């Protein structure tokens, strides 16, 4: 059974930084691309960033390009999201998701969400 555990969220002022962690278990981590998504109340969950199985291919939402960096450590079964120059509009619950295969083209598997981690950015 796939389990994903997000952590690292918190409250920061605009312009600050946070590093999110997603620890994965119950899968052969290096066989899957991974992604980060976020959701605010009353809105659809939206894509933030994704990384392929080896870490040499990434994708970002336009709203976070140049500010967020996704990375992974296959030895630690962990995917990270470094968030810099945070803005109030980044406030959301952040979730990680495994993809259906090694590449970003396989799309996310929405069947194994973790509990999420809250990020709050004040102006």
Task: Give the tens place of pLDDT for each residue, 29-76.
Answer: 999 999 999 999 999 999 999 999 999 999 999 999 999 999 999 999
Are the CB atoms for 19 and 81 separated by under 8 Å? yes
Are the CB atoms for 38 and 50 separated by under 8 Å? no
Q: How far apart are the C-alpha atoms of 122 and 96, rounded to whole Å?
A: 23
What radius of gyration, in Å, describes the C-alpha atoms of the chain?
A: 13
pLDDT at 5: 96
Sign of CA dihedral 4, 11, 62, 41: positive
The maximal CA–CA distance of the chain, rounded, in angstroms, is 41
Write the pLDDT tens digit of every residue in 106-120.
999 988 788 999 999
């Amino acid at each position: 059974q796939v389990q994903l555990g997000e952590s690292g969220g918190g409250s920061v002022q605009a312009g600050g930084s946070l590093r999110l962690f997603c620890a994965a278990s119950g899968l052969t981590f290096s066989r899957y691309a991974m992604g980060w998504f976020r959701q605010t109340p009353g809105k659809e969950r939206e894509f933030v960033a994704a990384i392929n199985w080896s870490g040499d291919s990434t994708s970002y939402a336009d709203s976070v390009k140049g500010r967020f960096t996704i990375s992974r450590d296959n030895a630690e079964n962990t995917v990270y999201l470094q968030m810099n120059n945070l803005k109030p509009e980044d406030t959301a619950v952040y979730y990680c998701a495994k993809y259906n295969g090694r590449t970003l083209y396989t799309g996310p598997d929405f069947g194994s969400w973790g509990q999420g981690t809250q990020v709050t950015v004040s102006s």
